[in-house]
Structure 1
Amino acid sequence: MHHKRSVVALAGGALSLVALGGLVTLAPQASAADVTCATNVYKRTFYKNTALSGSPARTDCDSAVSESWSGSPAAGMPSNNFGVRWSVTRDFGSGGPLTFTASATDGVRVYLDGVRKIDLWKSTGDTARSKSVNLTVPSGKHTLRVDHANWTGAAKVKFTYAPRTSATYDRTKPLAPTGVKTVYNTKTRKTTVSWAANKEMDLANYSLYRRPVTSTVWTGVTTTTARSYTDPLVNPDDRTPYYYEVRAKDKAGNTSSGSADTIVRPLPVVTSLTGTYSGATGKVTLKWPLNTEPQFNHYTVLSYDLGNEGYFRWVSLGTTMQNTWTTGPIPADGEWRHYRILVTNDAGTTTLGASSLDGSAANELWLGIPDGIAPQRAPELSLSFCTGGVRVTATDYTPAPIRDFYGFEIERRTAGASDWSVVLHSGYDPRTTFATVGVCDALTAGSTYEYRARTYDAAGNYSPSSDIKAFTPAAG
């Protein structure tokens, strides 16, 4: 008795004789439910009848349907009137045109997802015959099943399926590769890109592409049949983030869309920067997301300040490994303050930054400091008669280019009272030589009134008050 091939993958149950390479050995017997075969490997079941009915006589795994038995196909099986079934569920990727080919003595039937595609089911003795069919398999997972019946004589059966790789028939694009991973080495400045195996049966190769995050143009890096590639430094400065994507190509020349873009950052980046000013301490507290990348080493905090050279430039305030920084006291002068956070990796490479301000940079903050500085000088106050009362005039003689106030406020109270009331709160005409405002205040005769004036700025800060002056309207 000759066995072309017998593959056994069983666990538990009774022992049975199995022929392996011409030697008879003992192997455990198992039911079909006990057998789990590797991916894309057939589960094979033997039956002691040609109807392939009842409980299988034995079950194992088979890498291919290609047998030639001159007698019993396995220990405990008859030489004639037996049946064998192969079944496998596999992922066909994007699917496409395939050719199914079966040949056998006696009976063979081929099914795709339970639908019969090849039917050669009659006794032929020892003479085999074959049939091929072309069909299109949809994308995703599908089940193949091959049934063979041997009534008498030799038992020969073979089944293959293969993609049609001519561009004439295959116009189905492969699926985009998945599982793309990148590892950047800060010391060698190289990126290793790897990806999962594509499920296509007719895969020809993969192509790796990259582009800077600032560009929409992809550059081909390599074409390979492998599933990883180490790319040398993209940017000589080793600071610009860039994307990778992988595309698959089949033997018919169809190319997939790109995989999900995977970003590589030679340097960790600060994605946002916020800050608050404390009126109590006069300090600015900066905050940003903490970087956790393995290549992160430290941050450098910068402030855009007037240097000794007489011009503004970025000045380092210090370095930290934390994601917060508090400055020293800053005058509440109502001006803008500018801060920037740079990142240094474990190879000593630091983020590039413009020498001037960059209002669009995520790692840069423009912070308006509240104006807490009041106008320095009190205005002068004068009183004179007007119809029905007193004309109150407030004047400031500061030259226009250096005035630090926005308007005047004049207040009045009855002599001896503690509370003041506002008589006038007004801006002034900036075109005049002196800044001045006035109001005619109607009064009740017989009482004495006191007046004072002060200036205020746009932030609501008030200057010191002028000297208090009194006025008593005459009766009648």
Structure 2
Amino acid sequence: MYLKSLVATSVGGAMSAVVLGGLLAAAPQAAAAGTSCSAGVFMRTFYKNTSFTGTPVKTDCDSAVSESWAGSPVAGVPVNDFGVRWWMARDFGSGGPFTFAVLATDGVRVYVDGVRKIDLWAGTGDTARGRNVHLVVPPGRHTVRVDYANWTGAAKVKFAYAPRTAAVYDKVKPLAPVGVRTTYNTTTRKTTVSWTANKEMDLAGYSLHRRPVGGTTWTTVTSSTTARSHTDPLVNPGDRTPYYYEVRAKDRAGNISAGSADALVRPLPIVTSLTGTFDKVTRKVTLKWPLNTEPHFDHYTVLSNDRVDGAYVWVPLGTTKGSTWTTAPVPADIEARHYRVLVTNDGGTTTPSPVGLDARAPHELWLAIPDTIAPAYAPDLTLGSCAGGVRATAADYTPAPIRDFVGLAIERRAPGATTWSVVLHKTFDPRLDPATATVCAAQAADGRSHEYRARTYDAAGNYSPYSEIRSMALPMG
């Protein structure tokens, strides 16, 4: 956030209201001398004339324009007919109504962004006179310059600018705080929120607010603090709910800024996504997830949802600091396997693990295991003749409720051949018992014996053992 101004000084005089504009003006000639002043501090240059020309006698920094010189202000400058210039560039934050005031003998002029706002340029001897003007300063960075000329007599000059903090004048909200940072203590389980100092001159304080992720209502943690950090007394129940924090600024006129950018606090690191693959050869599942980088992360616990004593429970498989895990071989039972990865922080608190399954949990995976178990038994194979060939019939007598196959296949090879060819690959009629499939395989009546064999297959493409090889020759016609 930015400030409205720095010093509050009031002097008497006439008042007039104007609105400021313009961009940052170039620094005066004295800036070339290499002098650098802190933020909110004026660069001051002394001249041996009242036209501010030539090389300055001296350049230094001045925190406030408030002088009374009875003689020469610095060595090398005459007692009379000298000039002093003050210049500063600063950020006025949200801007708003300000009072600029001078009290001086002889000549004094005040400029904002190079535009003259106060002009009292006449000799007065030892008599000082003043003027106040009310300016509406736009937000952002602006320049302020004060030129003072002493012709004769005592040299007295005072200048100050300050925000008008009465609510009747100031309707400008402060800018939202910036630089919000959060620190979660895993031992006390409390969150400390800190932020960058607000630059508003009329700052009254800050307030800190919290809301749970997914919620819409902000809870006020502290309504007023002039400090730039605050520890939330909330101990997060179970350390499971992430929160957003925001800081708001309030000025002395009662205007409240918008909230800062929300700062997210997760009391526990979490696994944001979990994926897995099944290897048909090893029958192992490999789990993967993004590696947590939070400073309070300690380790992961990998769990599998298994049947124990008739009920499914989450069984720990082990712990790791890495982001992958390979399980022991799992049954290829076509059922989904369920896995979780929990996070434990350096305070010893672990992500809660509810008893049931949660399909929406990012750290939980439901993985379908493909069927790699083949039908256990070979079917029976019978051969007979049919018009133009051999009738081959495969039959399986497994009772219908427990059949683990969906079809039958019959293959054959010619005498002397080493390669089998498929003559039938089809599902069976589920209404028949046993399950049966028949084909009339074209075969020449040449007295040569062809060999046949059969097997069943399941929906995943797994095949049972082969039946006994049977052969048949059709008599030569």
Report the Cα offset of residue 175 of structure 1.
1.8
What is the aligned partner in structure 2 of residue 153 from structure 1? 153
Asked whether the 8 Å contact 2:95–2:140 carries over to 1, the reply is yes
Q: Report SS of the residue matched to 1:267.
A: coil
What is the aligned partner in structure 2 of residue 10 from structure 1? none
Alignment of 1:311-350 (within 5 A): 311-350=311-350
Is residue 2:291 matched to residue 1:284?
no
Report the Cα offset of residue 374 of structure 1.
0.9
- How far apart in 2 are the matches of 1:270 and 1:160? 57
Deviations along 1:96-152, whole A, 9 cap, x unmatched?
232222232221111112122222212222222223333332222211111111111
Q: Which runs of 5+ in 1 are unaligned?
A: 1-29
Q: Report SS of the residue matched to 1:436.
A: strand
What is the aligned partner in structure 1 of residue 264 from structure 2? 263
Report the Cα offset of residue 46 of structure 1.
0.9
2:327 alignment partner AA: T
- How far apart in 1 are the matches of 2:47 and 2:370? 90
Deviations along 1:28-58, whole A, 9 cap, x unmatched?
xx99623221111111111111111111111
Report the Cα offset of residue 91 of structure 1.
1.2
Asked whether the 8 Å contact 1:174–1:248 carries over to 2, the reply is yes
- How far apart in 1 are the matches of 2:160 and 2:429? 97
Give the paired residue count.
Answer: 446
1:391 alignment partner AA: R
Runs of 4+ in 1 over 4 A off after TM superposition: none
Alignment of 1:57-76 (within 5 A): 57-76=57-76
Asked whether the 8 Å contact 2:103–2:158 carries over to 1, the reply is yes
2:458 alignment partner AA: D
- How far apart in 2 are the matches of 1:83 and 1:269? 67
- How far apart in 2 are the matches of 1:254 and 1:175? 10
Deviations along 1:177-231, whole A, 9 cap, x unmatched?
1111111111112111110011222222211111222323221111212111011
- How far apart in 2 are the matches of 1:431 and 1:150? 118
- How far apart in 2 are the matches of 1:291 and 1:203? 39
Q: Report SS of the residue matched to 2:401.
A: helix
What is the aligned partner in structure 2 of residue 389 from structure 1? 389
- How far apart in 2 are the matches of 1:431 and 1:257? 73
Asked whether the 8 Å contact 1:248–1:255 carries over to 2, the reply is yes
The structure with higher relative contact order (CA 8 Å, sep 6+) is: 2
- How far apart in 2 are the matches of 1:435 and 1:348? 59
Is residue 2:460 matched to residue 1:459?
yes
Asked whether the 8 Å contact 1:95–1:140 carries over to 2, the reply is yes
Report the Cα offset of residue 168 of structure 1.
4.1
Report the Cα offset of residue 66 of structure 1.
1.9
1:271 alignment partner AA: T
Q: Identity, % of aligned pairs?
A: 69
Deviations along 1:370-428, whole A, 9 cap, x unmatched?
32211111122233443333333222222233221222222222233211111222223
- CA distance change for structure 1 residues 369 and 472 in 2, over 3 Å: closer, same or farther? same
Is residue 2:375 matched to residue 1:375?
yes
Q: Report SS of the residue matched to 2:33.
A: helix
1:255 alignment partner AA: I
- How far apart in 1 are the matches of 2:97 and 2:428? 86
Deviations along 1:421-452, whole A, 9 cap, x unmatched?
11222223334443322233333322433322
What is the aligned partner in structure 1 of residue 401 from structure 2? 401
What is the aligned partner in structure 2 of residue 101 from structure 1? 101
What is the aligned partner in structure 2 of residue 295 from structure 1? 296
2:445 alignment partner AA: A
Q: TM-score, normalised by structure 1?
A: 0.87
Report the Cα offset of residue 234 of structure 1.
4.0
What is the aligned partner in structure 2 of residue 233 from structure 1? 234
Q: Report SS of the residue matched to 1:237.
A: helix
Q: Report SS of the residue matched to 1:230.
A: strand
- How far apart in 2 are the matches of 1:33 and 1:434? 107
- How far apart in 2 are the matches of 1:287 and 1:41? 57
Q: TM-score, normalised by structure 2?
A: 0.87
Alignment of 1:28-427 (within 5 A): 33-223=33-223, 224-308=225-309, 310-427=310-427
Asked whether the 8 Å contact 2:190–2:236 carries over to 1, the reply is no
Deviations along 1:248-295, whole A, 9 cap, x unmatched?
122333322222222222222222323333344333333333334332
- How far apart in 1 are the matches of 2:253 and 2:427? 81
Q: Report SS of the residue matched to 1:453.
A: strand
